[in-house]
Structure 1
Amino acid sequence: MGARLGHLQLVQGERNRQLAEENRIRILPKPPVRGNILDRNGNIIADSRLSYSAFLWPLAKAEPNWETTVNRLSEILNISVEEITSRLDDVPVDSPQLVRIARGLTPEQVTAIEEYNYELSGVELDIEPVRDYPYGSTAAHLLGYTGEITQEELDNRGGDYRLGDIIGRMGAEAAFEQRLRGEWGGQQVEVNGAGRIIRILGEQEAKAGRNVTLTLDIELQEAAEEALGNRVGAIVALDPNNGEVLAMASRPTFDPNIFSGNITSEVWQELQGKDNPFVNRALRGFPPASTFKIVPATAGMESGQYPPNTVLNTSAFLNVSGVRVGEWNRAGFGRIGYRGALAWSSNTFFGQVGRGVGGETLIDWAKRYGFGQKTTLELPEEASGLIADEEWKQQRFNTSWSEGDTVNMSLGQGLTLATPLQVAVMFAVPANGGYRVNPHFLKTDDNQSLEKVSLNLQNSTLNTLREGLREVVTNGTGSAVNVSTIPQAAGKTGTAEARPRASHAWFGGYAPNDNPEIVVVAFAEHSGGGGGAVAAPMARQVMEAYFNRD
C-alpha cells in the first residue's frame, strides 16, 4: 500500500494533480446573440429569443449510470440514444466543455429534466439565444435558417468556429454569416465533487453579432406570397433603377422557426414533402417562353437586319429545316411589326427574326441581358440558368448547333433556361432606359459596387421595346394588368411547354410606364393555362399592394 501511494504521489503526482484540476475547473461557454435581420423599413424579420437548452458533460459517458441517463434523456427530448451518443463521439471524455444535446426545449421538457435530475448525471440546463422569425414562413427562402455546425463543416471552416456554434444555412443567414454570428464568451468555474458550481473564477462577455438590413419590403413580400397562393412557383419584385430586391417569394415554402428546436429524422422527412419546399424557385432555371422575345427583338433591331419599322408576314407555322414551328393561335396575325408581334406574342414573327440574325448574335444578346450566368445577388444557392451554344451542344450531345435551336431560343424554349430573377433583370433594361442592373438584397449606400451596366441600345430600339410592351397590356395578351387600380403598366406574357406535364405560366412587367418604379415577374410552375390568364393577375396583385399603400 505504501509503495502504491508513493507511485501515485511521486511518479504520477503531476498527472493526477492535472486530472483533479481539470475535474475541478470547468469552462462554461456562452454563445453570442446573433444579429437581427431587418427589412428596408426597419421591421425586424429575424431576431433571437431566450430558450432552454440541454447539455452534457463528456465525463457523463464514463459514469456507471450512463445507460440510465441516456435512456431517460432520450425519452424526454424525443431524440434517439444513438444521436445523443454520437454528439459525444468527437469530444474527449475528459473535455472540460459542455456539449449541447438539444435546444429550444419546451416547458414540459425542462420540467421533466428537473424532476428526473437524480437519474440524469452530467446533464445541465442553460438558457441561450435561439433564432426566431416573427413572420413565420414569409420570406423563408430569402432569410434561410440556422443550425448547429457539424464536425464536417467545422473541419472545412476552421478559424474561430467550434462545436456547438450555430451557423446560417440558406439565404441571408448563410450569406451574411460573418456579420451576424458574433463572438463566443464564457465562464471559468470551480465545481465540487457533485459537479455543482462553487464559484466563478473568470468571465468573458460574448460579443453580439451585427444587425443586417435588407432591401426587402416585408409588406410587399407578404403580398407576393399571397398572390402565389397555393401555386408552385415564384414572384420577384425589383427596383429597376438600382437592382434592389423588394420581394422574392417561392412556393412551396417552410417555417424556419422549426429549426430553432430539435429536428428529428421523422420531422426532416416530413419537411421534404412534395415539390421540394427548400428550393428557391426564384433562383432556378425554367424555359422563359415568350417573355424572352425581348432578346430577339433587341438583336434584330441592334443588328440592323430588322430595324424598328420592320413588318413581316406571320402565318400558321414557320418551316424550320422541315419542321413546323406553329403559331400559338394556329392562324397567324397577318403582316405586323414589332409592336404588334410583342402585343400578340407572335412565334412566327420572332422565329423569323431569330433565324435571320443567327444563333451567335442571338446568344450574344442573351448574355448581354444577363442570361446564362449568375447575377450579383448574394445568395449562394442561385443557379446560372442556361444559354446553350455550339460548344455546349457538342460537349453535351455531340451534335452541331442547328437552325431549329436558334428559332427555339427566339421563342424562349428548347435548351434555354432562365431564372425568374434573370427575367426581372431583363425587364429592368427597357424600364430604366437601357441598363442591366445588379440585383442585391443587402441595403447599402455604396452604389459604386452596384453600378448599372449600359447595353448601349439605340433610342429607337428602346422606344420600340417600350411601346410594344405597353401595347401588350393595352391591346394584347397582358390585358389583366390594364386596370385602374395601378398606374399604366407594361409587360409581356409567356407560356412555356413542359410536356407531358402542364405548361408553365409567366408574366413580367413594370409600372408606371412613363417612369418605372417596380418590376414584377410572376411564374407559375406546371400551372396550365396561359401567362395572361394565370401569371399576369399575380403580378397585378403585387403591383396593387405596392402602389396602394395606406
Structure 2
Amino acid sequence: MTLLKSPPIYTPQSPTRPAKRTVGRSYQAIIAMTLITTIMGGGIGTRLATLQLVEGKQNVQEANRNRIRVIPKQPERGKILDRKGRILASSRLSHSVYVWPLAQRKTTWPRTLRRLSQLLNIPEAEIQNRMERAGYSSPYLLRVAWGLSREQVTALEEYSSELDGIVIDVETVRHYPNGKVASHVLGYTGEMNDEDLERRKDRGYRLGDVIGQMGAEAAFESQLRGEWGGQQVEVDGLGQVVQFLGTVPAKAGQDVRLTIDLEIQKAAEAALGDAQGAIVAIDPNNGAVLAMVSRPAFDPNIFSTRITEKTWAELQSADNPFVNRALQGFAPASTFKIVTTAAALESGKYSPYTVLGTFPYLTVGGIQFWDWNRAGFGPLDFAGAMAWSSDTFFYQIALGVGGPTLIEWTRKFGFGQKTGIELAGEEASGLVADETWKNLELGEDWYAGDSVNMSIGQGYLQASPLQVAVMFAVPANGGYRVKPHLLKDNEEAKNWRESLDLEPVTVDILQRGLRQVVTNGTGGAMNDPTLPPNAGKTGTAEDPPRLSHAWYGGYAPYDKPEIIVVAFGENSGGGGGAFAAPKVKQVLDAYFKMKNRQG
C-alpha cells in the first residue's frame, strides 16, 4: 500500500532582528542532552525493573493468554429418564463438520466455503454468514452441519485437499428412543439463535451451542448441559496454530429423572390416538405428572439433523404440532361444576341438603338459558345435579351466590394462573374474567347471564387440561390444591399442596356427586367391573361454528385415589361421556394392570 506524504508546513517568520549573544550556547545544549539522557535512562531502567521484578508473573500470564487458546469441545448432554429410570432422551454419536476460522486468511476462505457448500448442499451465504458472525480470528471450531450421512462424510474426505480448515468430528446428538412419545414433555434441542446467544453469553454459551428449545430439555437446561472441555493450542502472532498442548475432557451433564411413567405415557398416547386434544394424568396427592399427551405431536429426533427454514415452516403448518394443548386454555364445560358446588356450599348461601327444581330453561336478562337435555330433570340435590350434570340447577346456584363469590372460588381452585409446572414458558394462565376485565376488554358491565354461563364452565372462562386435573385433585385428596411438577424427588406430598380449608361436608358432597356420575349418571362408560370403583365428571363445551369440545376427568380408586386422568378432545364433537370417558378408562385400565403385575 502506498502512503501519500503530507505537504511541508509553512510557518510565518518574525521580522529580522539583531543577532543575540551565542557564546556558551553549545555547552548548554550538551549539558541539557546529558540531563535528559540520564533522566530517560533512569526511567527506562525503573520501568524494566518494575516489569521484571514486580509485574513479571502477571506479564507472563498475559503473554500465555495471548499465546495459548482453547478449542472448545461440547459436553455430552445428560439423559432424561422416567420415574423408574427408563430412558426418554439420551445421546448418540453423529458426524459433524466444522470450520476453523484460524486455519486460513480471510481472503482465501471464499473458495473453500464454496466447495463446502456444494458438497453439503447448504447455501454458501448461510455458511459465510456464520463465519462473519463468529469472526475470522475466532479460535473456536464453528459447526456448520451435523448428522452427516455416510455419503457426505466420504465426499468431504475425497475433497480434503480443497478443504483446508474444515474439520470432520464425531460428537453426540440428541436421541429419543421412543420417537413421538412424550414429545411435548421432553421437547427438543437445537442451536441457539442470535437472541438466545445474547441472553446466555454471560453464562459461557457460544455461537453454535445446542440448547433445550422446549419441554424438559429447556426447563432443565442447567442440569443437562454439562461443562465444556477442549484442546489447548499454541498460536503465533498471526493467530496460526503452532502446536497442540493438551486436552481438557468435557464433563457430561447430569441425568434428570422425571415423574413421567413411560408405560402410562404410552397408554395415554394410544388412548388419544390421532384425535386433536390432550390427556393428562397426575398423582392427586402430590401433583406428580404421570403422563402428558398432546396431539398433533412431532418426532424430536428430526432436530438431530439440520433443519432448513422450509422444513420448519412445513412442520409448523400442520395444526401447530409444537403447541402443548395440555397447557392451553379452553372452556372447561361441566367439569367446572365442581367449583360451582364448592362456591355454593362454602358461601353459606346453600345448605348441604338443598334441593332445587330443574327446568328446560331459565330466563335471565331476557335470554333463555337451556338445560343440555332441553327438558330438565325434576328436583335434584347437589349430588344428583352433579350426576346428571343439570345446567338449570347450577344456573340457579350462580344467581344465588353471585358473580364475585363464584369468581373468588374459581381462583382458589387455581384457574386464571399458571399451575407452577416447570414448563412455565409454554403454559397459558387461562382466563377468569370479572367485571374489571369485561369493562376493559369489552366495555360492558358484568351481567347475571355472565355468572350463569360461568357456572357450567362456559362464557369468559378458559382452563387447560392440567388446570382441570388440579381441580379434580381437590375432591380426590380431601380438599388440597396440588402443584403439578415433572421433576422426580423424594419430598413429602405436603410440600406440593395447600389446603383450601373446605368444610368436610363440602368435600363429602363433591365426592359423592362425582361417584354418582359413574354409577348412575353421565359417566356410565366408566362403570366397569374390571376397574376399581372410580369417580369423575363429563363435560361438553360449545365452540360454534365448530364442533364442541369433549371432556372427562376421573380418579381411582374412589376411596383412596392414586391417579387422576383428564381427557380433552378439541372440537371433537361426540360429548364428554361418549368421546372422552372411554379414553380415560383406557388409561386407568393400563395403570391398574401395571400395578397388579408389579404386586
- TM-score by length of structure 1 reads 0.92
Query: What is aligned with 1:164?
Result: 208
Q: CA deviation at 1:62?
A: 4.5
RMSD value, Cα? 2.2
Q: Is the 8 A contact 1:79 1:264 kept in 2?
A: no
Query: What is aligned with 2:516?
Result: 471
Measured against aligned partners, the alpha-carbon deviations of 1:344-403 in whole angstroms (never above 9, x if no partner) come to 111100011011100011011111111110012011211110111111111111211111
Q: Is the 8 A contact 2:333 2:456 kept in 1?
A: yes
Structure 1 residues without counterparts, runs of 5 or longer: 1-20
Aligned counterparts of 1:180 and 1:309: Cα–Cα separation in 2: 55
Q: Is the 8 A contact 1:23 1:96 kept in 2?
A: no
1:334 maps onto 2:378 in alignment: yes
- Which residue identity lines up with residue 547 of structure 1 in the other structure? F
Query: What is aligned with 2:290?
Result: 246
1:294 maps onto 2:333 in alignment: no
Paired residues for 1:386-405 under 5 Å: 386-405=431-450
1:108 maps onto 2:151 in alignment: yes
Aligned counterparts of 1:285 and 1:60: Cα–Cα separation in 2: 53
1:452 maps onto 2:497 in alignment: yes
Aligned counterparts of 2:257 and 2:184: Cα–Cα separation in 1: 16
Query: What is aligned with 1:13?
Result: none
What SS class does the counterpart of residue 130 from structure 1 fall into? strand
Q: CA deviation at 1:80?
A: 1.7
Query: What is aligned with 2:100?
Result: 57
Query: What is aligned with 1:377?
Result: 421
Aligned counterparts of 1:532 and 1:468: Cα–Cα separation in 2: 16
Larger mean CA deviation between 221-230 and 264-273 belongs to 264-273
Q: Is the 8 A contact 1:25 1:96 kept in 2?
A: no
Query: What is aligned with 1:280?
Result: 324
Q: CA deviation at 1:495?
A: 0.3
Over 3 Å counting, the alpha-carbon distance change for 1:165 and 1:50 in structure 2 is same
Over 3 Å counting, the alpha-carbon distance change for 1:220 and 1:96 in structure 2 is same
Query: What is aligned with 2:349?
Result: 305
Measured against aligned partners, the alpha-carbon deviations of 1:8-27 in whole angstroms (never above 9, x if no partner) come to xxxxxxxxxxxxx9999764
- Which residue identity lines up with residue 351 of structure 1 in the other structure? Y
Runs of 4+ that moved beyond 4 A: 21-26, 59-65, 195-199
How many residues in Structure 1 have an aligned counterpart in Structure 2? 530
Aligned counterparts of 1:289 and 1:519: Cα–Cα separation in 2: 18
Over 3 Å counting, the alpha-carbon distance change for 1:392 and 1:530 in structure 2 is same
1:69 maps onto 2:130 in alignment: no
Q: Is the 8 A contact 2:134 2:207 kept in 1?
A: no
Paired residues for 1:535-546 under 5 Å: 535-546=580-591
1:175 maps onto 2:258 in alignment: no
- Which residue identity lines up with residue 541 of structure 1 in the other structure? Q
Measured against aligned partners, the alpha-carbon deviations of 1:486-539 in whole angstroms (never above 9, x if no partner) come to 111100000000000010000001001111100000000000111000000011
Q: CA deviation at 1:313?
A: 0.8
Q: CA deviation at 1:155?
A: 1.2
Q: CA deviation at 1:164?
A: 2.5
Paired residues for 1:219-238 under 5 Å: 219-238=263-282
Q: Is the 8 A contact 1:76 1:109 kept in 2?
A: yes
1:416 maps onto 2:464 in alignment: no
What SS class does the counterpart of residue 379 from structure 2 fall into? strand
Q: Identify the match of residue 32 of structure 1 among 57, 63, 75.
A: 75
What SS class does the counterpart of residue 432 from structure 2 fall into? coil
- Which residue identity lines up with residue 320 of structure 1 in the other structure? V
Aligned counterparts of 2:459 and 2:162: Cα–Cα separation in 1: 65
Q: CA deviation at 1:166?
A: 1.3
Aligned counterparts of 1:319 and 1:388: Cα–Cα separation in 2: 22
Q: CA deviation at 1:152?
A: 2.2
1:144 maps onto 2:144 in alignment: no
Larger mean CA deviation between 31-40 and 71-80 belongs to 71-80
Q: CA deviation at 1:252?
A: 0.3
Q: CA deviation at 1:463?
A: 1.0
Measured against aligned partners, the alpha-carbon deviations of 1:131-178 in whole angstroms (never above 9, x if no partner) come to 111111111111111111223211112222122221111111111111
1:324 maps onto 2:368 in alignment: yes
Aligned counterparts of 2:429 and 2:152: Cα–Cα separation in 1: 45
Query: What is aligned with 1:92?
Result: 135
- Which residue identity lines up with residue 157 of structure 2 in the other structure? E
1:47 maps onto 2:90 in alignment: yes
Q: CA deviation at 1:203?
A: 2.0
What SS class does the counterpart of residue 251 from structure 2 fall into? coil
Aligned counterparts of 1:204 and 1:27: Cα–Cα separation in 2: 9
Aligned counterparts of 2:411 and 2:590: Cα–Cα separation in 1: 32
Aligned counterparts of 1:62 and 1:201: Cα–Cα separation in 2: 23
Aligned counterparts of 1:318 and 1:62: Cα–Cα separation in 2: 82
Larger mean CA deviation between 423-432 and 442-451 belongs to 442-451
1:256 maps onto 2:305 in alignment: no
Aligned counterparts of 1:372 and 1:218: Cα–Cα separation in 2: 30
Larger mean CA deviation between 373-382 and 492-501 belongs to 373-382
Measured against aligned partners, the alpha-carbon deviations of 1:170-219 in whole angstroms (never above 9, x if no partner) come to 11111111111011111023689xx9988530221111111111000011
Query: What is aligned with 1:547?
Result: 592
Aligned counterparts of 1:378 and 1:400: Cα–Cα separation in 2: 36
Q: Identify the match of residue 487 of structure 1 among 506, 523, 532.
A: 532
What SS class does the counterpart of residue 314 from structure 1 fall into? coil
Aligned counterparts of 2:437 and 2:198: Cα–Cα separation in 1: 36
Percent identity over the alignment? Answer: 60
- Which residue identity lines up with residue 229 of structure 1 in the other structure? G
- Which residue identity lines up with residue 297 of structure 2 in the other structure? T
- Which residue identity lines up with residue 91 of structure 1 in the other structure? A
Q: Identify the match of residue 228 of structure 2 among 184, 201, 222.
A: 184
Q: CA deviation at 1:100?
A: 0.7
1:124 maps onto 2:157 in alignment: no
Aligned counterparts of 2:360 and 2:124: Cα–Cα separation in 1: 68
Aligned counterparts of 1:360 and 1:475: Cα–Cα separation in 2: 33
Q: CA deviation at 1:124?
A: 0.7
Over 3 Å counting, the alpha-carbon distance change for 1:307 and 1:79 in structure 2 is farther
What SS class does the counterpart of residue 471 from structure 2 fall into? helix
Measured against aligned partners, the alpha-carbon deviations of 1:53-104 in whole angstroms (never above 9, x if no partner) come to 1101225674666444333322332322222112112122122221110112
Over 3 Å counting, the alpha-carbon distance change for 1:25 and 1:457 in structure 2 is closer
Aligned counterparts of 2:423 and 2:494: Cα–Cα separation in 1: 17
Q: Is the 8 A contact 2:286 2:494 kept in 1?
A: no
Q: Is the 8 A contact 1:237 1:518 kept in 2?
A: yes
Query: What is aligned with 2:22?
Result: none
Aligned counterparts of 1:38 and 1:222: Cα–Cα separation in 2: 15
Aligned counterparts of 1:79 and 1:485: Cα–Cα separation in 2: 57
- Which residue identity lines up with residue 89 of structure 2 in the other structure? A
Q: Is the 8 A contact 1:26 1:97 kept in 2?
A: no
- TM-score by length of structure 2 reads 0.85
Measured against aligned partners, the alpha-carbon deviations of 1:445-504 in whole angstroms (never above 9, x if no partner) come to 234883311111111111111111011111111111111221111000000000000100
- Which residue identity lines up with residue 29 of structure 1 in the other structure? P
Aligned counterparts of 1:262 and 1:376: Cα–Cα separation in 2: 33
Aligned counterparts of 1:525 and 1:505: Cα–Cα separation in 2: 7
Over 3 Å counting, the alpha-carbon distance change for 1:23 and 1:117 in structure 2 is farther
- Which residue identity lines up with residue 515 of structure 1 in the other structure? K
Q: CA deviation at 1:329?
A: 0.6
Aligned counterparts of 1:344 and 1:274: Cα–Cα separation in 2: 38
Structure 2 residues without counterparts, runs of 5 or longer: 1-63
Q: Identify the match of residue 517 of structure 1 among 562, 565, 578.
A: 562
What SS class does the counterpart of residue 334 from structure 1 fall into? coil
Aligned counterparts of 2:254 and 2:65: Cα–Cα separation in 1: 35
